[in-house]
Amino acid sequence: MKKIIYILLFGLGPLLFAQERNLDEITKDLYLTGDWQGLIYLSSKINNDHFTTYEIEYRLAVAYYNSGNYFDSAQQFEHIINTYHIKGDVLLEYLYYAYLFSGRQQDALLVARDFPFHQEVKTGVKKVKFIDFISAEGGIKLSDNKQNGIENLTYLNAGFGQQLGYRLKLQHAFTHLSQQYINLKYQQNEYYGNIHFQMGKGLTLIPSYHYVSIKKDEFQENTTYFNNNRMNPAENEEPVNNNDQYNTKTNIFHIAVKKQWNRFSISPSFVYIFTQSDQNNAYSKLQYGVHTGLTIKPTRDRLWLGAGIDFLNSDYENKMIWNIKAYYSLGTKAYIYLRYLSAGTSDFTLEDAMYYYNAVSTMSNNISTTIGFYFTPKMSWYVNYQYEINADYDYDLDFSYNTIITGIKIDL
Amino acid sequence: MKRLLIILPFFLIIGITNAQDQKLLSAFTDSYAFETNLEYDKAATLLEKVYLNYVSNYEINYRLGWLRYSAGDFKESENYYKKAMELKPLSLEAIYGLILPTIGQQKYNSVIRLSEKALSISPNDSRAEYFLGLAYYYKKDYVKSEKFLEKAINKYPFDLDINLMLGWTKFALGKKNEAKSLFLTAQRNSPYNVRVKNALNLINK
């Protein structure tokens, strides 16, 4: 019925909107009655030139906000601030929350920089949070090829975040994982740190550093099968001493720039991977790629789709890996995240070099599903399942992992 | 006959001036009627129709400054108030008028300059002290803000805005008890005021 009324109104458009004043009165009525959809519908049908007064534009921004359309609300508030050079308390607070609820936390913090004290108190935003959040996760990678000595992998991770000013966020994570893989028993310790530096609105610089230390114990147990089955028997000619131990250290330097335009983001990245063992074997690898994401408006911004492509260059191989991702918000309390990764290689990074895939075997494909739940706005729990197809070309083996990871994150 | 020729233009000029004065008065009268109905834009437009004939008239510039400010057009309001200030450089009402759209545009350095000018004309003026306190508060210079607001509150101890502003400044300086006392004074001034309620809720959190 409402739509019919609007259509009738537009039928009389030239008469009704001959004067801007009429539009002002109509939008004012819709605003006062809280008819947000009516206001948005009206604005979509009228030439933008009509929206020339501060009041009309403000009403539209509030209409977007109150109908949960935070992306468009943020854009409209930005437009008002830039057009009218007004940065009043109310505008800033709306813009802050519009950014926050559209997942642009660092843009929200940039807005909070202009908050007067009473607004800082009201919103609870702080310039410095020495510990911004803490997180912990653990999981197990279940092997389907234990008969050939590929055992389960256990994984533990703990981390914390920091906010040092309105532009700078840091994240630190410590990981331990261990596995027995055929004739290798290895323990891996990692440190990962990244910085999110907000250079300007929608523009983030993301340098990261990842350190991986691997302690490997090599032994001869269970190798009879492989000595008879290796594709290249010559590789076995040198007998392996019992319990040979050696260490490998990998340093990973990553840098990315992320640019966000309303619902769309793009992030080119560059990674340098350098690995050295205590037997003086060293190799390096370059990884460069681009990742994009788009929030889908017709799903009421619940669905986000992403895709990425990376190229790997080393002395030994030139490879391309790619992935597609989808995030779907199940209301305000839960979400589901899916990712498909096609790799066909190993020793590459994912997610701003947070994950370094350095298995002995080669990952072919990986499908990952995460379901997350917010107990409170500050405490979330998630469980992740991954199915991963691997190949070991040395031993001519195909196998898969079923991985279960669960974690918790608490914002302080 | 010669005398008549000399006197006639005088009468003509007086007649035209009277007609113009009448026109201006009529525009002012109508603008007040629109303002009563909160139709600031209409009220301003009415005066702007005759504005070109009175560009150098202080009152019309001052009034348009207020009406454009009330209509939310801070830039235009600023222009009219500036013109009024040019015409009457010692006018405190024009300075305080100009401070309003200047605050609206968050030009706090300009607010400080204008308030200092007001103080140079009228030393110890509490309005200028309040605006200085407000501008320094928004510039996050709470020590200076406190200094000027303390001066203002000594003259108007029961003023709602000064109590609230000084309360927030004290709160920002970590003087929570003093801040709460000021918010409670503000509450006694205006028990149902939303700003006061919010302030008390936040300080009691």
Q: What is the pLDDT of residues A348-404, one digit of tens each?
A: 999 999 999 988 889 999 999 999 999 998 999 999 999 999 999 888 889 999 999
**What is the Cα–Cα distance from A3 to A31, expressed in whole angstroms?**
16
Q: Cα–Cα distance between A185 and A216 in angstroms, integer?
A: 6
Please, are residues A258 and A233 in contact by the beta-carbon 8 Å criterion?
Answer: no
Cβ separation of A118 and B202 shorter than 8 Å? yes
**Mean pLDDT along residues A267-287:** 92
| Residue type for position A297 | K
Torsion, CA B78, CA B84, CA B90, CA B93, rounded to 10: -70
A10: exposed, middle or buried (Cβ count in 10 Å: 0-12, 13-18, 19+):
middle
Q: What is the pLDDT of residues A294-324, one digit of tens each?
A: 999 999 999 999 999 999 999 888 999 999 9
Q: According to the model, what pLDDT value does residue A10 have?
A: 40
User: How many CA atoms lie within 13 Å of A75's alpha carbon, on the beta-carbon side?
Assistant: 10
| pLDDT for the residue numbered A279 | 79
Distance CA A341, CA A360 (A): 18
Which three-class secondary structure state does DSSP give residue A314? strand
* Best A117, A123, A125, A127 residue to mutate vs chain B (most B CBs within 10 Å): A117
Least Cα separation, residue B203 to chain A (angstroms): 9
CB A131 within 8 A of CB A155: no
Handedness of CA A349, A351, A352, A355 (dihedral sign): negative
pLDDT digits (tens, 9 = 90+) for A102-142: 999 999 999 999 999 999 999 999 999 999 999 999 999 99
Q: How far is B101 from chain A (nearest CA, A)?
A: 10
Q: How far apart are CA A263 and CA A296, in angstroms?
A: 8
What's the CA gap between B86 and A2, in Å, rounded?
Answer: 52
- The answer to whether A121 faces chain B, any CB pair under 8 Å, is yes
Assign residue A411 a region (left: φ > 0; alpha: ψ between -120 and 50; beta: otherwise): beta
Chain A positions touching B172 (Cβ under 8 A) are 117
Residue pLDDT, tens place only, A232-255: 433 444 444 556 788 999 999 999
Look up residue B75 and give its two tokens.
């830039």
Question: In the 3-class helix/strand/coil scheme, how is B122-144 assigned residue by residue?
Answer: CCCCHHHHHHHHHHHHHCCCHHH
Residue B118 φ then ψ, to 5°: -60, -40
- Contact with chain B for residue A118, Cβ under 8 A: yes
How far is it, in rounded angstroms, from Cα A233 to Cα B112?
Answer: 85
Comparing C-alpha atoms, which of A391, A401, A359 is closest to residue A181?
A: A359
Q: Find the residue in A nearest to B73 (Cα).
A: A54
According to the model, what pLDDT value does residue B21 have?
76
pLDDT (0 to 100) of residue B17: 57
* CA A81 centroid distance within chain: 29
CB atoms within 10 A of CB B56: 10
Model confidence at A11, pLDDT cuts 50, 70, 90, reads very low
pLDDT for res A51: 57
Structure tokens at B117: 């000018």
The verdict on a CB contact (< 8 Å) between A54 and B202 is no
Taking the C-alpha atoms of residue B67 and residue B167, their distance in angstroms, rounded to an integer, is 31
Q: Measured between alpha carbons, how far is B125 from A274 in angstroms, rounded to an integer?
A: 69
Burial class for B88, CB neighbours closer than 10 Å (0-12, 13-18, 19+):
middle
* Residue count (chain B): 205
Helices (H) and strands (E) in chain A, counts: 10, 16
- Phi/psi region, residue A261 (left: phi>0; alpha: psi -120 to 50; beta: rest), is beta
Three-state secondary structure of A138-182:
EEEEEECCHHHCEEEEEEEEEEEEEEECCCEEEEEEEEEEEEEEC
Q: How far apart are CA A218 and CA A186, in angstroms?
A: 8
Q: Is A48 on the interface with B (CB under 8 A)?
A: no
> Which tops the pLDDT comparison, B182 or A54?
B182
The first and second tokens of residue A190, run together, are 């990692």
Q: How far apart are CA B119 and CA B130, in angstroms?
A: 11
Cα R_g (chain A), whole angstroms: 27
The enclosing H or E element of A261 equals: strand A244-261
Contacts of B169 in chain A (CB under 8 A): 117
Residues from B contacting A (CB-CB < 8 Å) are 41-42, 72-75, 104-106, 137-138, 140, 142, 168-169, 171-172, 198-199, 202
Write out chain B residues lying below 8 Å of A121, CB-based.
171, 202
Beta bridge partners of A211: A191, A251
Contact (Cβ atoms closer than 8 angstroms) between residue B31 and residue B43: yes
The Cα–Cα gap between B100 and B98 comes to 5
**Which chain B residue is nearest to residue A52, measuring alpha carbons?**
B73
Decide: pTM greater than 0.90. Answer: no
* C-alpha span between A41 and A213 (Å, rounded): 58
Tell me whether A117 touches chain B (CB under 8 Å).
yes
User: What is the SS3 assignment for B177?
Assistant: helix
CB contacts of A55 in chain B (<8 Å) are 72
Contact of B199 with B167, CB cutoff 8 Å: yes
Which residue in the set A21, A85, A121 is minimally distant from B202, CB to CB? A121
Quickly state the pLDDT bin for A13 (edges 50, 70, 90). very low
The β-bridge partners of A174 are A158, A191
Is B41 in contact with A118 (Cβ distance < 8 A)?
A: no
Question: How big is the A-B interface in CB pairs under 8 Å?
Answer: 39
Given a cut of 70, the residues of chain B with pLDDT beneath it are: 1-20
Number of H helices, E strands in chain B: 11, 0
Residues of A in contact with B73 (CB under 8 A): 54
Helix-strand-coil percent breakdown of chain B, rounded to 5? 80, 0, 20
Give the residue from B103, B110, B138, B149 with the most A CB atoms within 10 Å of its CB, the best one to mutate: B138
**Interface membership of A122 toward B (CB under 8 Å):** yes
> Cα B144 to chain center, whole Å?
22
**A218 DSSP assignment:** E
Determine the Cα–Cα distance for residues A193 and A187; give it in Å rounded to an integer.
20
pLDDT at A265 over 50: yes
Calpha distance A216→A178 (Å, rounded)? 10
Among candidates B106, B169, B172 on the partner chain, residue whose Cβ is nearest the Cβ of A87? B106
Nearest-CA residue of chain B relative to A118? B168
Supply the pLDDT for residue A122. Answer: 93
Per-residue confidence (pLDDT) for residue B11, from 0 to 100: 53
- Chain A nearest-CA residue for B199: A118
Report CB contact under 8 Å: A117, B137: yes
Report pLDDT for B9: 59
Mutate to test the interface with A, among B106, B142, B195 (most CBs of A within 10 A): B106
A16: confidence class by pLDDT, cuts 50, 70, 90: very low
A41: distance to nearest CA of chain B, Å? 25
Q: What is the mean pLDDT of chain A?
A: 87
